[in-house]
Structures are given as structure tokens and as C-alpha cells.
Structure 1
Amino acid sequence: MSEPETSFDEGRYLYCVVTDGDGSLSTTGLEDEQVRVIREAGLVAVVHDCSSLYDSDSATEIQRWILAHQSVVDDAGEAFGTPLPFQFDTIVRGDDEAVRSWLREEEATLTDHLEALAGRWEYRIEVVWDEDAAREELEAADDELQQLAERRDSADEGTGFLLNKQYETRLDQLLSEQRRAEAADLAERIGSEVTELVDLGERSTVGLDVGGADEEVDVLARFAVLATDDEQEAVGLLLDDVAADPGIEVRFTGPWPPYTFTPELGEEGPDASDEV
């Protein structure tokens, strides 16, 4: 797909698509643009008129735009039910008829996705652990570490340096294995309670992070889950048990529109700039 032009004669900024119903929407979006809906084929596209992509060298401005985008998707979800959200700066080139034409062409695909998401919302889970405490437990329990420590402490400076590197390598390996094992166990337990789970690892994402952007924490696992209200309650109870461990802190946020679970619509879908 070729790089999109940054400006054009006419376009519609696309926030999301929802299933048509009795809902109505009155809100403003990026730069206080008036948001409106375009109906076609049993679907509703939530848009505002535009003639360029939203591009800036200011990270603060881009973050403000992304939050405004998410706010509109939230409002659409409240008005119509679970939306199919699109990434920031997704544009349909042309007028309202271009949007209607796209909705007609993609009716089957969009309807299938909306039906799969209906009544389900995204939740984010971050599990933080006391890594220092985990290290101390491993140091006390692992025979190989204890042997390396004894040899290191009685060796000369050069040999002691090499033995200490072996010690730290072994400790880091054990810690990584423990983190992976505990994260996999959590994923299995949580995954059995929800419609779908995505392991986010330690990656950060814009807008929906459960931790503060500047906050340094030792992350054991991060997940996004797609869940009904009943499934969300079951996950909450499970996470209460997880958080009962004195070395564990759990952060559970939502409901959010299902950004993580929105499928790619392929090259026939609307144009979009790179997501920041």
C-alpha cells in the first residue's frame, strides 16, 4: 500500500463502526470537530469531515489527539453498544457517499466482526511483582548459585570476577524462567475465564496502559482480555486471589472498546497514517 498523502480535497475521519440501532450521538472529536454518523447497510460509521491527516512533531499534541479519538469511540460505545474501533488517523477519502460505498462493500466483514464483539469489552491486566524478593528466594533455594557464591567469596580478584559473572548470569536465567512460568500460568488461568486473551508481554501501548507512563515497576505480565460482564466478574475474583500474594500487585482496568481485538480489514479498507 503506498504512503498516504497528508492532504486531500475531501475526506472523512473514521473513529469506529457500530451496528445501527436506536442510538444517537452528539459529541466533538479531534480539535473540537463536530462528530456525526453515516448510516448504510445496517451499519453506522462515526466520522468527522477532514481534508488532511493529523500529523505533528509534538508528542503532546499527538497524545491529545489520540485521547480525543478514544473519547469519541467511548461515546459511540455507550450510545450503540460495542464498537469496532479504528486506529488513530484512519481516513476514508471522499464524501459521505464514499463512506456509504465502503460500508456496502465491507458489510459482511464488518457485520461479522461486530457480531463477534457484541456485548464484549476490552480489559487490561498488569501484574507487578517484587523482583528483588524473587531474587532473594532463588539465591536461597538454588544449589548451583550457592556453590558459585562460595567459590567466588574464597577466590582471588580475577577468578572472583568471572565467578560473579557466572553467578549473575545463572540468577538472571532462573529469574527469567520463573517470570515466564508464572506469566504462562496466569495466562492459562485468566484465559479460561474470558472470550479471548492477548499476552502483551512487557510492551507499552498508547492510551490504555494501566501503569503510569513514567512509573518504573517490575512487570510480571501484561494481558488484554475480551470479556462479557459475567466473564469480567469472574476475572476480578480470580485476580483478587492473585493479589493476595504479598509480593504481587494487580492492576485491572476497563471496560475499553476492543482496540486489541479489532481485526485488520486489509488493503481494501480505509487509509490510515502510521500510529504513534
Structure 2
Amino acid sequence: MNDTTIKEGRYLYCAVSIPDQKPDFSVTGVDDEPTTLIPIDDVGVVVHECNNLYDTDEVDLLRKWLLQHQQVVDAVGERFGTPLPFRFDTIIQGNDDRVREWAYEEADALSRYLDTLSGLWEYHIDVMIEDNELEAGLEERDERLQELTTRINDSGSGDGTNFLLEKQYNQRLATLKRRRRDERARTLRNRLSDITYEIHDRDTGERSINLTDSKGDESDRMTSQLTRLTLLAHENREKEIGDILDDVAAEPGVTVRFTGPWPPYTFTPAIGDELESEHATD
């Protein structure tokens, strides 16, 4: 038996508060497997039966599995309310009874986190700004840039001094642009913090498999990332968030992308991480 095979297991998608002990729920899951919901008191755990781990070097197949995982969690959210999602490829060895045993062990934590996240959803915000708008008026307001411009114009074009002056100019300009970008991002964050539960900055340099776009837009490279945020907010606040972003999008040279609601993947505690050690090696 290779290291991706298990005798019997359950692939875990999420936990969710359920209104009764026998909810009728089943959708197609990862690798087109049928899912079931296992009720444990007032909590349901969505699973499918499996006998192998979902490990592959094929990017397209991994993308498909990730998307199917997300679609199951989305369907649970639409039916029952905010779910507590588990990470992709979280598998517990054993049958439904083993899942119930684990859920009873984690009952207090599961109920606490589900109560905390009730009605809360994750939203993603990406704000881009054209470089010319980010630079607009900086030289007119900055004496150092004005001084460097004068010295550049007075020096010869082939002079080594000219090269050094232009380098200093670009460095000063980059510093001022960064300050302006940070100030505008901070202003937006402060406005959003009044109507959200939690805000995380997303690394502008991070790379990940994109589940929402088939292809990134790289047609215009003369733009800068103003900010990338992940919000945890109540569903009743979605319109207010949208109104704030409409104000930002109305500013010259600014583009805003607002997506959600998503299950709160970013804000989910690490329940179930110990299950990863239960992969069979027999």
C-alpha cells in the first residue's frame, strides 16, 4: 500500500450549525464523490468516504479539486448559514463513528467558533491605482524634487552627475509615492474598520491558485497595488462596505475589485489540524 492510500477514511469539508438531527443534504464533492452530512447534536460535519489522499503534481487537477471543495462549503453556507471550513485534504481515518467521536472531543470548540462566526462572512478587496495619479502633484508639493529637477536641467545630459541626480530623483519620488499609497490605504482601512469585525492585509506579492479567475489581467502594467484586504463582516454590512468602495472607485485612476461573501477561510481557527497526522502509512 503506498503512502497516499488509507484503509477507510472520511474527507472533511466543514462543520456547521444544523436546525435538526436529520437534515437532508448531499452535493457532489472532491473528485466527484457524493457528500453526506453527519449530525452530532446541533452540529453537522460534511464528509465523503475516501480511501486515498488527494495529492497530485497536476495543477489543473489540483485546481479542480480545490474548486470542488470550495463549492461544497459554499453550498453548505447557502443552506445552513456560515460554516466552519476545514482545509483542503483534511482526512480522518475511520468511518462515520470515528467522525462523531472526534466531533464530540471538539464539541466545545466547534460550538464556540460556530457561534462566534454566525452571520459573518469573508470578503476580499483589491484596490489598484494608476501610477500617473499616484504621482500627480508630488513635485509641485516637494521642494527636494523641485531642487533635483533644476539641477538635472542645469547639468549636461552625458554628465555622470546627471545620472546620479536622476537616481536621487527617482528614489525620492518612490518614497513619496509609497507614503501617499500607505496613507490612502490606511484611510480606507480605518473607514472599513468601523463596520467590520476583523481586517487582514493580504501580501501583495503572494502567489496562489486563483479559484475565481481563469486568467489574471496583466494588460496594464502602469498601475500600483494600493491595498489588498480580507474582511470578516456581518452579511448585513455588505451594502455599507460596497458604498465605501464605490467612493474609492470614483477617485481618478482607481480600480476596485470586491468579491464575496465567502466562507471565512482566513478567520477559521486551526481545528482539525491534528487529523493530518492520522494518514495511514501501512
Q: Is TM more than 0.5 here?
A: yes
Distance 1:146 1:210, change over 3 A: farther
Deviates more, 1:194-203 or 1:113-122: 194-203
- For residues 71 and 13 of structure 1, the distance between their equivalents in structure 2, rounded to whole angstroms, comes to 15
Q: Distance in 2 between matches of 1:212 and 1:31?
A: 23
Contact 2:67 2:211 in 1 (8 A): no
Provide the residue aligned with 1:197 in structure 2: 199
Deviation at 1:129, TM superposition (A): 1.0
Partner of 1:41: 41
Picking from 11, 14, 18, the partner of 2:12 is 14
Q: What is the match of residue 152 of structure 1?
A: 152
2:261 matches 1:255: yes
Matches of 1:58 and 1:208, distance apart in 2: 15
SS in 1 for 2:34: coil
Between the aligned partners of 1:142 and 1:212, the Cα distance in structure 2 is: 40
Cα distance in 1 between the residues matched to 2:239 and 2:214? 21
The whole-number CA distance in structure 2 between the counterparts of 1:72 and 1:258 is 14
Identity percentage over the alignment? 43
Name the residue aligned to 1:90. Answer: 90
Aligned partner letter, 2:18? D
Following TM superposition, by how much is the alpha carbon of 1:136 offset from its aligned partner in structure 2, in angstroms?
3.8
Question: How many pairs are equivalent?
Answer: 269
Query: For residues 270 and 131 of structure 1, what CA distance do their matches in structure 2 show?
Result: 45
Deviation at 1:27, TM superposition (A): 0.9
What SS does the corresponding residue of 1:87 show, helix, strand or coil?
strand
Question: Which residue in 1 is equivalent to 2:187?
Answer: 185
- Pairing of 1:121-132 with structure 2 (within 5 A): 121-132=121-132
Kept in 1: contact 2:11–2:48 (CA 8 A): yes
C-alpha contact 2:86 2:272 (8 A) present in aligned 1: no
What is the aligned partner in structure 2 of residue 168 from structure 1? 170
Q: Please, what TM-score do these two structures have when normalized by structure 1?
A: 0.89
| Kept after mapping to 2: 8 A contact 1:194/1:232 | no
Q: TM-score scaled to structure 2, two decimals? A: 0.87
Secondary structure of 2:251 counterpart: coil
Letter in 2 for 1:19: S
What is the match of residue 244 of structure 2? 238
Amino acid at match of 2:163: F
Partner in structure 2 of residue 71 of structure 1: 71
Inter-partner Cα distance in structure 1 for 2:195 and 2:73 = 26
> Do residues 224 (structure 1) and 233 (structure 2) align?
no
The runs of 5 or more residues in structure 2 that have no matched partner are none
User: How big is the shift at 1:163?
Assistant: 1.2
Distance in 2, matches of 1:87 and 1:223, equals: 21
1:265 equivalent to 2:263? Answer no
How far apart are 1:214 and its partner, in Å? 4.7
Instruction: Give the 3 Å change call, closer, same or farther, for CA 204–167 of structure 1 in structure 2.
Output: same
